[in-house]
Amino acid sequence: MKKFVCYWGEGYENHGAAEHTSDFFCEDNCYEPENIFDINALEVGQVWQTLVYPEGKQFVMRVE
């Protein structure tokens, strides 16, 4: 199982880093189906990043 190293930028209430496995990214955790598909398709070493929103929110995830 792949490991996902995630970072929530300071625009998020609970910003900081965390590690997750692929089963974390599911509809029960409020992830959209198309994002779940994209996340599960990532290969080791790839990075997935959300847009930087006007209020400064940024999410970055690396697959290990």
Chain segment 29-57, per-residue pLDDT in tens: 888 898 888 888 999 999 887 656 666 77
The pLDDT, as a whole number, for residue 52 is 63
Chain segment 6-34, per-residue pLDDT in tens: 888 877 777 888 899 989 989 998 888 98
How open is the CA angle 35-55-12, to the nearest 5 degrees?
60
Rounded-to-integer distance, Cα 36 and Cα 57, Å: 20
